[in-house]
A and B are shown apart, each in its own frame.
Chain A
Amino acid sequence: MTRFIVRRMLLSIPVLAAIVFFAFLMVRLQPEGPFNSSAGGHALPENLRLMMETRYGLHRPFQEQFMIYLGNVLKGDFGPLLRSRYQTVNEVIAYSLPISLQLGFSAIVLGLLIGVPAGIIAALRHNRPMDYVATFIAVIGISIPNLVLAPVLVLFFGLKLNWLPIAFWGAEAPFTFGVLPPLDLNFFKHAVLPVSTLGVAVSATIARLVRSSLLEVLSEDYIRTARAKGIRERMVIVRHALKNALIPTVTILGPLFVTLLPGMVIVENIFAINGLARVMVDSVFDSEYFLLSGSILVFAIILVVGNLMADILYVWLDPRISYREAG
């Protein structure tokens, strides 16, 4: 088992290396340096420009620069913030990353809370009206893009009914333990709309997955055995069927975060939330090269780690998969 984990981790290293390289290319391949005033309208005095360029080694050969950048990244230094001399990229990431994490995590939790029961009910009432209704709603839920759902929710719940605030996140850095938000009413009021926007698609996906895997499991022989043994239906489902049916759901959580990313970009944009996705997009237009590559890197690391954990979890949970063939 450990051998598999180690091997899987080793396989992620080239991926991470490629992403670091990609992020570095973004910064370095500009025809003009990031500190030239013409590039982003950052008018740095000449001596400061030279100093910054020397500090970040922009006159050295390409490979050396990459090594320097790699070294900096490994030390945790993502570079300077170009629009303000007193902030670094790290600080910006530090206050925006937790917000994105909270948003994404809440969306997934919401998705699970709605999707799993819905999928179970649909599977148990297979081919009856409840199933069709649930499946239909799930297909609609998957088809409506976040881009469409967000303004509709804003219009309906925020503007027409005026129940919920339509902008900003209800909490700000610093957070407890760095990530946990204060769970008060203000936070929840602000969180409902953005999280629901993201959560709809997630719950639709999860519901479909749970339904199909539960249906598959219920037709297995061991379920038949359990029923023949006289175990009550509820016990059969909960103790035998569910545990196996939920394995695909658990392992999809990693890749699910990946699909959440474009949605997060939109939601953070529409709801004016200061998360890392919005910071990343804004940095493109502000020509904040270091911030852009740093935030891409951070997201990529999170996604790769998420996939890694999903793979490991999958192998750990399903005893039928041998570690060798899963690698």
Chain B
Amino acid sequence: MNTAKSEHEAALEALHAAKRALRQGNLAEARSSARQAAMLDPGLPDAWLILAGLAPPAAGLAYAQRALELAPDNPRARQAVRWLEAHQAVHRKPEPVIEAAPRVESAAKTEPRPLQRKLDEPSTPRRGLLIDTWRAFRRHRAAVLGLALVAFFLGLAVFAPIFTPYDPNLGSFEHLREEPLTRFEPAPDVLEQCHWRGTPLESWGCSTFIAGTDRGGRDFYSRMVYAARTSLAVAFVASIVSLSIGITYGTVSGYAGGQVDEIMMRFVDFLYSLPVFLIVLGIQSFFSLYWRSQEGFIGWLDQINRNMGGLLFLFIAIGAVNWVGMARLSRAMVHSQKGKDYILAARSLGANEVQIILRHLLPNILGPLLVMETIAIPGYIFLEATLSFIGLGVHSTIRGGQTGVDLPSWGAMIRDGYAGLRTSPYLVLLPSLALTLLTVAFNFMGDGLRDAIDPRTRKRR
């Protein structure tokens, strides 16, 4: 009892010293005295308040809250807490690290439960922190599997020449419809073109049809691997095209607002209701079969198209109809972000409109947009396969009737192999398997990405 009373008195003395030092402007002295006071008697709200005023704002909040707990009626305490909380909200510091607190708290037996309101998950920035997203993504086993599969196909596509013996368009009519693993004697000029020349694989690989040949005498295995290029090229380029056009259009429309926004969105709604497949079909058939004139701009484009195996017009057709969904979504998101405080803050700090859009707005909306695009990619792959199946996709002919380059495509391979379904089903089943795997991979990846980006499904770390 005696010690307690004298502690309390000592604390009061220290508190007086602190206040005196404050009046004189001696902040360091004030702080040490206040700390002493708080250590001696943790029940003094004033001591905590002084510490709150002198400490950096992050730590000071805890002090002020402690003071408020001790003296709920004290207007200064309330004001201090309110001010510090507002300060914290503006600066968004993480949970405060209180350096002095552990020592003090061990002296006080009661652990002060901070009134700290869990600040809401910020409705704006930092949702797309790459690391956070990656961590959340990693938890989905299916999504990681999807990513691995996509990476596998990507590797196949990019390094196709390494994995295959021959060029996929090299067909010889002596070897039509050979069985898998048939050996043959390659002519010297054919052997020249073997990718595995000079490697240990040469003796076996350059003279074996690993998966047989198709009905044009082309090595089936090589075609399978190279066809990955076609599907992935369509997937990526079409999504880039649709992302660029869509995001630009949607952002401009959403940011402009008013009449311009109305008109632009009416146009988008109109396009949205057009049947996609029919338009793509129409465009493709128009370009690939009808326009045979070689002059003018279209003729020049046609020449490029032929050299790309038909990919150019395919990109145009698919991109031209699919940007609409992206435009709608980005416009909606821009609308919702436009009124947020950080935009206002940026504007009041003097950023011009373009800067605001590029540096503040776009990074925040990019996440869900990318997810939506990833989910749309299986559709693109399927569209390309369908068009190639009916012959309106990439150029994949037996005799290469038109000038230009031929590209293998899984859809075209299914068409070619269908006639031999009874005797050699693998001609159809292998491309089908590849298509399914790629589609499933992107589906899983898209699902995982969507759950990773959405903060509601993310557990808080």
Contact = CB atoms under 8 A, between A and B. Distances in A.
Interface of A: 12, 14-15, 18-19, 22-23, 26, 29-31, 139-140, 142-145, 147-148, 151-152, 154-155, 159, 258, 261-262, 265-266, 269-270, 280-281, 284-285, 287, 292, 296, 299-300, 303-304, 307
Nearest to A287: B289
A280 B280 CA distance: 13
Given A142-B443, A154-B421, A270-B418, A147 B386 contact: yes
14 contacts: A15-B273, A26-B286, A142-B443, A145-B439, A147-B411, A147-B435, A148-B436, A151-B429, A261-B275, A261-B277, A280-B281, A285-B289, A287-B290, A296-B278
Interface in B274-297: 274-279, 281-282, 285-286, 289-293
Contacts of A14: 270
B407 to A, nearest CB: 17
Contacts of A265: 277, 281, 386, 390
Contacts of B389: 147, 266, 269
Given A285-B391, A300-B274, 9 more contacts: A143-B443, A147-B386, A258-B277, A262-B386, A265-B277, A266-B389, A299-B278, A300-B275, A304-B273
B432 A151 contact: yes
A151 B443 contact: no
B383 interface: yes
B289 A22 contact: no
Contacts of A19: 274-275, 278
A262 B382 contact: yes
Given A139-B443, A147-B382, A148-B435, A15 B286 contact: no
Contacts of B421: 151, 154-155, 159
Interface in B137-188: none
Interface of B: 270, 273-279, 281-282, 285-286, 289-293, 378, 382-383, 385-386, 389-392, 411, 414, 418, 421-422, 425, 428-429, 432-433, 435-436, 439-440, 443
A92 B325 CA distance: 35
Contacts of B382: 145, 147, 262
Nearest to A259: B277
B277 A292 contact: no
Contacts of B290: 29-31, 287
B292 A31 contact: yes
A197 to B, nearest CB: 13
B274 A145 contact: no
A62 B286 CA distance: 18
Contacts of B425: 155
Given A261-B275, A261-B278, A270-B418, A145 B385 contact: yes
Contacts of B418: 151, 270
B275 A258 contact: yes
Most chain A CB atoms below 10 A, which of B390, B421, B440, B443: B390
A160 to B, nearest CB: 9
B432 A152 contact: yes
B289 A152 contact: no
A31 B286 CA distance: 11
A18 B285 CA distance: 18
B332 to A, nearest CB: 16
B275 A31 contact: no
Contact of A152 (B391, B411, B429): B429
A269 B443 contact: no
A269 B390 contact: yes
A110 B72 CA distance: 68
A106 to B, nearest CB: 20
Question: What 3 A-B pairs are tightest by C-beta distance, nearest first?
Answer: A148-B432, A284-B285, A31-B293
Contacts of B281: 265, 280-281, 284, 296
Contacts of A145: 382, 385-386, 435-436, 439
Given A143-B439, A159-B421, A151 B277 contact: no
Contacts of A159: 421-422
Nearest to A38: B292
A252 to B, nearest CB: 15
Contacts of B391: 285
A18 B274 contact: yes
B295 to A, nearest CB: 9
Contact of B275 (A270, A281, A299): A299
Contact of B428 (A151, A266, A269, A281): A151
A26 B282 contact: yes
Contacts of B422: 155, 159
